[in-house]
Structure 1
Amino acid sequence: MFDATRARRPDLPNAPGVGYKPQHFANILEAPAPVEWLEIHAENYMGQGGRPLAQLRHLSERFPVSVHGVGLSIGGEGALDSEHLARLKTLCDWLSPASFSEHLAWSSHENAFLNDLLPLPYTNATLERVADHIDQVQDVLGRQMLLENPSSYLAFRESTMRETEFLGALAQRTGCGLLLDVNNVFVSATNLQLDARAYIDDFPLECVGEIHLGGHDEDMDDHGAPLLIDSHGREVADPVWALLEYTLARSGPRPLLIEWDTDVPDWPTLAAEAQRGARALAHTP
Structure 2
Amino acid sequence: MNQFLGVGILYNPSLETYFNLYPDSINYIEIIPDIWFTDNGVGQKDRFTMSPGYASKIHKLGEQWPLVAHHVGFSLGTAGYFDNEYLENVMKLQETYNFAWNSDHLSYSKVHDDEVTEYSTCLSLPLPFDDEVIDMLSSKIKQIKQTIQTPFLMENNVYFVEIKKEQYAEGAFLKKLTEKSGCGILLDLHNVHANATNFKFDRKAFVDSIDLSTVEEMHIAGGNVVGEMYLDSHSGRCNDEVWELLDYVVPKCPNLRGVTFEFHESYFETMGNEGIYEQLEMARSICSKYKEIVCL
For the aligned residue pairs, the C-alpha RMSD in angstroms reads 2.0
Could you give the per-residue CA deviations for residues 97-129 of structure 1, whole angstroms, max 9, x where no partner exists? 011111000000001012111001111111111
Structure 1 position 171 matched with structure 2 position 171:
no
Q: 1:264, CA displacement in angstroms?
A: 4.0
Corresponding residue for 1:186?
Answer: 193
Letter in structure 1 aligned against 2:108: W
8 A contact 2:216–2:258 mirrored in 1? yes
Aligned to 2:157: 150
2-side partners of 1:260 and 1:107: how far apart?
21
d(CA) in 1 for partners of 2:247, 2:4: 20
Letter in 2 for 1:92: Q
Give unpaired runs (5+ residues) of structure 1. Answer: 1-8, 222-226
- 1:11-160 alignment runs, 5 A limit: 13=5, 15-46=6-37, 47-110=49-112, 111-160=118-167
Task: Name the aligned partner's letter for residue 197 of structure 2.
Answer: T
Using the TM superposition, give the Cα deviation of residue 195 of structure 1 relative to its aligned residue in structure 2, in angstroms: 1.2
Over 3 Å counting, the alpha-carbon distance change for 1:257 and 1:131 in structure 2 is same
Q: Is the 2:4–2:258 Cα contact (8 Å) retained in structure 1?
A: yes
Distance across 1 between alignment mates of 2:22 and 2:223:
27
* Structure 1: distance between partners of 2:17 and 2:2: 27
Of 256-265 and 203-212, the range deviating more from structure 2: 256-265
1:259 and 2:262 equivalent?
yes
**In 2, Cα distance between the equivalents of 1:174 and 1:241?**
30
CA gap of 1:279–1:12, structure 2 versus 1, over 3 A, is closer
Give the distance between the partners of 2:201 and 2:14, measured in 1 at CA.
Answer: 38
The whole-number CA distance in structure 2 between the counterparts of 1:78 and 1:26 is 44
Q: Secondary structure in 2 aligned to 1:66?
A: strand
> Secondary structure at 1:263's aligned position in 2?
helix
Aligned residue identity for 2:74: L
Residue 90 of structure 1: how far off its partner (Å): 1.2
Deviation at 1:140, TM superposition (A): 2.2
* 2: CA distance, partners of 1:52 / 1:61: 14
Once the 2 structures are TM-superposed, how far is the Cα of residue 189 of structure 1 from its aligned partner?
Answer: 1.4
Distance 1:248 1:279 in 2: 12
- Amino acid in the other structure paired with 2:237: E
Shift of 1:262: 4.0
- Aligned residues: percent identity? 25
Letter in 2 for 1:242: E
Give 5+ residue unaligned stretches, structure 2.
Answer: 38-48, 113-117, 292-296
Aligned to 2:278: 272
- Deviation by residue 1:146-205 (Cα, 9 ceiling, x = unmatched): 111111222212411011111111111111111111111111112222111101111111
CA 1:92–1:29: 2 relative to 1, 3 Å: farther
Question: What is the CA deviation profile of residues 213-267 of structure 1, one whole-angstrom value per residue up to 9, with x for unaligned ones?
Answer: 011112343xxxxx21111122111111111111124226651110002424133
TM-score (norm 2): 0.86
Deviation at 1:49, TM superposition (A): 3.4
Take 1:10 and 1:44, find their aligned partners in 2: how far apart are those partners? 29
Cα drift, residue 273 of structure 1: 0.8
Question: Are the equivalent residues in 2 in contact too, given 1:99–1:145 (CA < 8 A)?
Answer: yes
Paired residue secondary structure (2:25): coil
Find the aligned partners of 1:59 and 1:12 in 2 and give their Cα distance: 20
- Matched-pair contact (CA < 8 Å) for 1:154–1:191: no
Counterpart residue number, 2:46:
none
Structure 1 residue runs of 4 or more that deviate by more than 3 Å after TM superposition: 9-12, 46-49
